[in-house]
């Protein structure tokens, strides 16, 4: 009888051990099945300066990103990052993933004009036609005179001869910080400066141009020598003086014979002293019609029609 009981107890103990082992296996399988499974894409890339989004990592719709560690999206190349995934039930899993940061965006060049027109003798700076050059991520790109530029700056190639009429091509080349390159061309049209109708004839007369006296009598004694009496001359001078070369004197207080030709036969005014000429020219350069058209002036001695030494102003 005791032997039967002992055998039964032994078999019961063996059954209990099997049940305990089975329970542990069930619990372990249950625990494993509760971990979050994420199918991560291969060959993951992110655009330079952009955020890494869930759609870049997986196609699973019920997964979101809780945290991304060690990602620098403004550093080009491969990086190992740690990503914590989660779902709506609060389950999480952490994965180490290789991300490739690439810059596929190019600088944007904006010009003020596709064609720039100037006249011979004008000063011209090619940079003044550049409205803006920007990188979509890093912003403004600055001008650089560095030779063999390949990163972070822009340059302008080509040459404009402002002394010779013609059409010239200039090319703007821009590089962003990662070496992406953009180019844009524009034309510079140099036109001849307009010449007055009398300029060609006056130019042949050189510095000793002698303007006819406007208050000369129109009687038959036209060959007689004009009077040099200043009071008589001023008495017959019209209220609005128009000189024989077709121009009004720039300074109405001076007589027509003070309007002379110097350099390129441009009508100028003669002054009795260098200081007087310099003072007058300086005052004119303050006026918009002068400083917009000319970059400076010169004063030089010349001989007037009465053979007296005088000074003339030449704007350029």
Question: What span, in angstroms and rounded, lies between the C-alpha atoms of 141 and 110?
Answer: 12
> How far, in Å, CA of 224 to CA of 245, rounded?
22
> pLDDT averaged over the chain?
74
Positive or negative CA dihedral for 172, 175, 176, 181?
positive
Residue-wise pLDDT for 96-126, tens only, equals: 999 999 999 999 999 999 999 999 999 999 9
Contact by Cβ (8 Å): 154, 226: no
CB-based burial label for 241 (10 Å; 0-12, 13-18, 19+)? middle
pLDDT band at 178 (very low <50, low <70, confident <90, very high): very high
Residue 300's DSSP bridge partners are 312
Is the pLDDT reported for residue 197 higher than 70?
A: no
Residues 215-265: pLDDT tens digits? 333 333 333 344 344 444 344 444 444 444 455 545 555 454 444 444 333
Per residue in 258-300, pLDDT (tens digit) is 444 443 334 456 677 777 877 877 787 777 766 666 667 677 7
For 62-86, write each residue's pLDDT tens digit.
Answer: 899 999 999 999 999 999 999 999 9
H/E stretch holding 171? strand 166-175
Measured in whole angstroms, the distance separating CA 95 from the mean position of its chain's CA atoms is: 46
Give the mean model confidence (pLDDT) for residues 42-59. 92
**Percentage above 70 pLDDT, the chain:** 59
Domains of the chain with CATH codes: 45-102 (no CATH), 108-191 (2.60.40.10), 199-214+234-315 (no CATH)
Query: What's the whole-model pTM score?
Result: 0.51
Is 56 within 8 Å of 119 (Cβ atoms)?
no
At residue 25 the predicted structure's pLDDT band, cuts being 50, 70 and 90, is low
- The predicted pLDDT at position 127 comes to 94
Distance CA 151, CA 177 (A): 5
CA–CA gap between residue 243 and residue 234 (Å, rounded): 14
């Amino acid at each position: 009888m005791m032997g039967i009981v002992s055998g039964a107890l032994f078999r019961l103990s063996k059954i209990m051990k099997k049940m305990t082992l089975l329970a542990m296996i069930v619990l372990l399988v249950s625990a494993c099945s509760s971990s979050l499974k994420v199918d991560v894409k291969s060959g993951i890339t992110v655009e330079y300066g952009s955020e890494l989004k869930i759609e870049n990592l997986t196609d699973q719709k019920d997964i979101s990103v809780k945290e991304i560690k060690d990602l620098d999206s403004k550093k080009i190349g491969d990086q190992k990052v740690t990503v914590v995934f989660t779902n709506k039930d609060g389950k999480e899993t952490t994965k180490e993933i290789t991300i490739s940061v690439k810059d596929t965006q190019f600088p944007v060049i904006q010009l003020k004009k596709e064609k720039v027109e100037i006249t011979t003798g004008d000063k011209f700076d090619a940079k003044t036609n550049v409205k803006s050059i920007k990188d979509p991520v890093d912003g403004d790109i600055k001008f650089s005179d560095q030779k063999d530029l390949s990163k972070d700056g822009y340059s302008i190639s080509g040459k404009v001869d402002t002394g010779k009429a013609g059409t010239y091509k200039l090319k703007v080349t821009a590089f962003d910080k990662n070496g992406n390159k953009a180019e844009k061309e524009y034309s510079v049209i140099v036109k001849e400066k307009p010449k007055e109708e009398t300029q060609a004839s006056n130019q042949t007369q050189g510095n000793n141009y002698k303007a006819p006296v406007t208050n000369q009598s129109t009687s038959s004694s036209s060959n007689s020598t004009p009077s040099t009496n200043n009071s008589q001359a001023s008495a017959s001078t019209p209220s609005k003086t128009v000189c024989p070369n077709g121009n009004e004197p720039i300074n109405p207080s001076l007589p027509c014979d003070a309007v002379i030709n110097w350099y390129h036969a441009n009508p100028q005014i003669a002054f009795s002293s260098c200081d007087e000429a310099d003072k007058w020219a300086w005052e004119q350069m303050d006026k918009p019609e002068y400083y917009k058209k000319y970059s400076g002036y010169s004063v030089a001695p010349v001989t007037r029609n009465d053979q007296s030494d005088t000074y003339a102003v030449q704007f350029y």
